[in-house]
Structure 1
Amino acid sequence: MRKNVLSILLCIAIVACQGNHNRNQESSLDYSGVQLPEKPNILWLVTEDMSAYIPAFGDSTIKTPNLSRLASEGIRYPNLYSVAGVCAPSRCAIATGMYPTSIGGSHMRVNSYTEETGLPAYEAIPPADVKMLSEMLRKQGYYCTNNYKTDYQFKHPLTAWDECSPYAHWRNRKEGQPFYAVFNFTETHESGLFEPYGYRHIETRHYHSGDRRYEWEDGRMKEEQTPVHLSKETKFDIPPYLPDNDVVRRDIWKEYNNIAEMDRQVGAVLKQLEDDGLLENTIIFFYGDHGGPYPRQKRLIYDSGLNTPMIIRFPQKQLAGDVDDQLISFVDFAPTLLSLAGVNPPEYLQGQAFMGRYPSAKKRNYIYGAADRFDAETDAIRAVRDKRFKYIRNYRPNQGYYLPVKYRERIPTMQELLRLRDAGELDSIRALWFRKSKPTEELFDCEADPHEVNDIAGLPEYKEKLVELRLEMDRWIQEIGDQPNLPEKELIEQLWDGDVQPVTIDPVISEKNGKIEISCATTGASIGYKVIPMNAKAPNSWTIYQLPIALPKGATLKVKAHRIGYKSSKEMEFKVI
Structure 2
Amino acid sequence: MPNSRPNVLWISTHDINPHLGCYTGVWPGAGQATTPNLDALAADGIRFDRAFAAAPVCGPSRSAIVTGCFPPAIGTMHMRTRATPPADVRLLPQYFRAAGYWTGNSAFTDFQLDVPDPVYDALGDHAHWRLREDPDQPFFMAFHGLITHESQLYLTDEEFARRTPDATRVEQVDVPPYHPDTEVFRTAWKRYLELVSQMDHWVGTILRQLDEDGLADNTIVVFWSDHGLGMPRGKRWASELGLREPLIVRWPGRVARGSVYDDPVALLDLAPTMLSMCGLDAPGHLHGDVLLGPDGVPRKRRDDYVVSARDRMGEQEDTSRTIRDRRFRYTRHLHPDRSPMGHCEYPDHLATWAEMRRLHAQEAHQQLAFGQPPSVLTELQRSIVAASKPAEELFDVEADPHEEHNLIGRPEYDDVRERLSDALDAWLAKVGDLGQLPERELLATWHPRPHCTEPVIETADGLVTITCPTDGAIVGWTTDPPSADSRRWRLYTKPFTPAEPIWVKGWRIGFGASADVPIPTSTR
Deviation at 1:132, TM superposition (A): 1.0
2:470 paired with 1:522 = yes
Q: Show CA shifts across 1:14-65 (max 9, x none).
A: xxxxxxxxxxxxxxxxxxxxxxx94111111101101111111112323222
What CA distance in whole angstroms lies between the structure 1 residues aligned with 2:389 and 2:284?
Answer: 38
Aligned residue in 2 for 1:570: 515
> What is the TM-score with the length of structure 2 in the denominator?
0.91
Determine which of 423, 426, 429 is the counterpart of 1:478. Answer: 429
What CA distance in whole angstroms lies between the structure 2 residues aligned with 1:317 and 1:250?
Answer: 42
What CA distance in whole angstroms lies between the structure 2 residues aligned with 1:64 and 1:151?
Answer: 26
Determine which of 435, 440, 448 is the counterpart of 2:399. Answer: 448
Determine which of 185, 198, 212 is the counterpart of 1:261. Answer: 198
What CA distance in whole angstroms lies between the structure 2 residues aligned with 1:102 and 1:403?
Answer: 25
Aligned residue in 2 for 1:550: 497
2:299 paired with 1:333 = no
Q: 1:436 to 1:253 in 2, by over 3 A?
A: same
What CA distance in whole angstroms lies between the structure 2 residues aligned with 1:98 and 1:41?
Answer: 23
Q: 1:199 to 1:151 in 2, by over 3 A?
A: farther
Which one-letter code corresponds to 1:270 in the other structure?
Answer: L
Aligned residue in 1 for 2:143: 183
What CA distance in whole angstroms lies between the structure 2 residues aligned with 1:349 and 1:195?
Answer: 40
Aligned residue in 1 for 2:451: 503
Deviation at 1:225, TM superposition (A): 5.7
2:461 paired with 1:513 = yes
Gaps of 5+ in 1: 1-36, 111-122, 201-220
Aligned residue in 1 for 2:389: 438
Instruction: Assess if the C-alpha contact under 8 Å between 1:45 and 1:285 holds in 2.
Output: yes
| RMSD of aligned alpha carbons | 2.1
Which one-letter code corresponds to 2:56 in the other structure?
Answer: G
Aligned residue in 1 for 2:167: 229
Which one-letter code corresponds to 2:37 in the other structure?
Answer: N
Deviation at 1:360, TM superposition (A): 6.1
Determine which of 204, 210, 221 is the counterpart of 1:284. Answer: 221
Q: Residue 240 of structure 1 aligns to a residue in which SS?
A: coil
2:361 paired with 1:422 = yes
Aligned residue in 2 for 1:354: 291
Aligned residue in 2 for 1:374: 313
Matched residues, percent identical?
37
Q: Residue 443 of structure 1 aligns to a residue in which SS?
A: strand
Q: How does 1:40-439 map to 2 (within 5 A)?
A: 40-58=6-24, 59-110=30-81, 123-173=82-132, 174-197=134-157, 226-227=164-165, 229-231=167-169, 234-316=171-253, 318-357=255-294, 362-424=301-363, 425-439=376-390
Instruction: Assess if the C-alpha contact under 8 Å between 1:515 and 1:549 holds in 2.
Output: yes
Matched positions, count: 498
Aligned residue in 2 for 1:211: none
Deviation at 1:571, TM superposition (A): 2.3
Instruction: Assess if the C-alpha contact under 8 Å between 1:84 and 1:306 holds in 2.
Output: yes
2:419 paired with 1:460 = no
Q: Show CA shifts across 1:433-453 (max 9, x none).
A: 122222222211111111112
Instruction: Assess if the C-alpha contact under 8 Å between 1:88 and 1:151 holds in 2.
Output: yes
Q: Show CA shifts across 1:472-497 (max 9, x none).
A: 11111111111444211011123x2x
Q: Show CA shifts across 1:428-473 (max 9, x none).
A: 1110112222222221111111111211111000000111011111
What CA distance in whole angstroms lies between the structure 2 residues aligned with 1:52 and 1:199?
Answer: 26
Instruction: Assess if the C-alpha contact under 8 Å between 2:164 and 2:195 holds in 1.
Output: no
What CA distance in whole angstroms lies between the structure 2 residues aligned with 1:130 and 1:225?
Answer: 38
Which one-letter code corresponds to 1:130 in the other structure?
Answer: V
Instruction: Assess if the C-alpha contact under 8 Å between 2:167 and 2:201 holds in 1.
Output: no
What CA distance in whole angstroms lies between the structure 1 residues aligned with 2:361 and 2:166?
Answer: 34
Deviation at 1:344, TM superposition (A): 2.2
Q: 1:478 to 1:242 in 2, by over 3 A?
A: same
Instruction: Assess if the C-alpha contact under 8 Å between 2:290 and 2:301 holds in 1.
Output: no
Deviation at 1:316, TM superposition (A): 4.2
Q: Residue 423 of structure 1 aligns to a residue in which SS?
A: helix
Range 368-377 or range 318-327, more displaced: 318-327
Q: Residue 227 of structure 2 aligns to a residue in which SS?
A: coil
Q: Show CA shifts across 1:232-256 (max 9, x none).
A: 5x22121211110211111111111
Q: Residue 312 of structure 2 aligns to a residue in which SS?
A: strand
Which one-letter code corresponds to 1:192 in the other structure?
Answer: Q
Q: Show CA shifts across 1:201-247 (max 9, x none).
A: xxxxxxxxxxxxxxxxxxxx9xx564263445x22121211110211
What CA distance in whole angstroms lies between the structure 2 residues aligned with 1:539 and 1:297?
Answer: 40
What CA distance in whole angstroms lies between the structure 2 residues aligned with 1:278 and 1:85?
Answer: 34
Which one-letter code corresponds to 1:265 in the other structure?
Answer: W
Q: 1:196 to 1:282 in 2, by over 3 A?
A: same
What CA distance in whole angstroms lies between the structure 2 residues aligned with 1:526 and 1:96?
Answer: 15
Gaps of 5+ in 2: 25-29, 364-375
Which one-letter code corresponds to 1:465 in the other structure?
Answer: V
What CA distance in whole angstroms lies between the structure 2 residues aligned with 1:540 and 1:41?
Answer: 26
Aligned residue in 1 for 2:369: none
What CA distance in whole angstroms lies between the structure 2 residues aligned with 1:45 and 1:228?
Answer: 18
Q: 1:485 to 1:196 in 2, by over 3 A?
A: farther
Range 285-294 or range 510-519, more displaced: 510-519
Aligned residue in 2 for 1:217: none
Q: Residue 479 of structure 2 aligns to a residue in which SS?
A: strand
What CA distance in whole angstroms lies between the structure 1 residues aligned with 2:19 and 2:304?
Answer: 25
Which one-letter code corresponds to 1:489 in the other structure?
Answer: R
Aligned residue in 2 for 1:119: none
Deviation at 1:195, TM superposition (A): 3.3
Which one-letter code corresponds to 1:229 in the other structure?
Answer: A
Which one-letter code corresponds to 1:370 in the other structure?
Answer: A
Instruction: Assess if the C-alpha contact under 8 Å between 1:327 and 1:387 holds in 2.
Output: yes
Q: 1:226 to 1:386 in 2, by over 3 A?
A: closer
Q: Show CA shifts across 1:365-418 (max 9, x none).
A: 010111111111110110011111111111112212112122212322221111
Determine which of 468, 485, 504 is the counterpart of 1:559. Answer: 504
Deviation at 1:357, TM superposition (A): 3.4
Instruction: Assess if the C-alpha contact under 8 Å between 1:295 and 1:408 holds in 2.
Output: no
Q: Residue 374 of structure 1 aligns to a residue in which SS?
A: coil
Aligned residue in 2 for 1:206: none
Which one-letter code corresponds to 2:462 in the other structure?
Answer: G
Q: Residue 182 of structure 1 aligns to a residue in which SS?
A: strand
Range 473-482 or range 350-359, more displaced: 350-359
Deviation at 1:541, TM superposition (A): 3.4
What CA distance in whole angstroms lies between the structure 1 residues aligned with 2:262 and 2:300?
Answer: 17
What CA distance in whole angstroms lies between the structure 1 residues aligned with 2:158 and 2:435?
Answer: 38
Instruction: Assess if the C-alpha contact under 8 Å between 1:340 and 1:355 holds in 2.
Output: yes
Which one-letter code corresponds to 2:393 in the other structure?
Answer: E
Q: 1:70 to 1:479 in 2, by over 3 A?
A: same
What CA distance in whole angstroms lies between the structure 2 residues aligned with 1:54 and 1:176?
Answer: 34
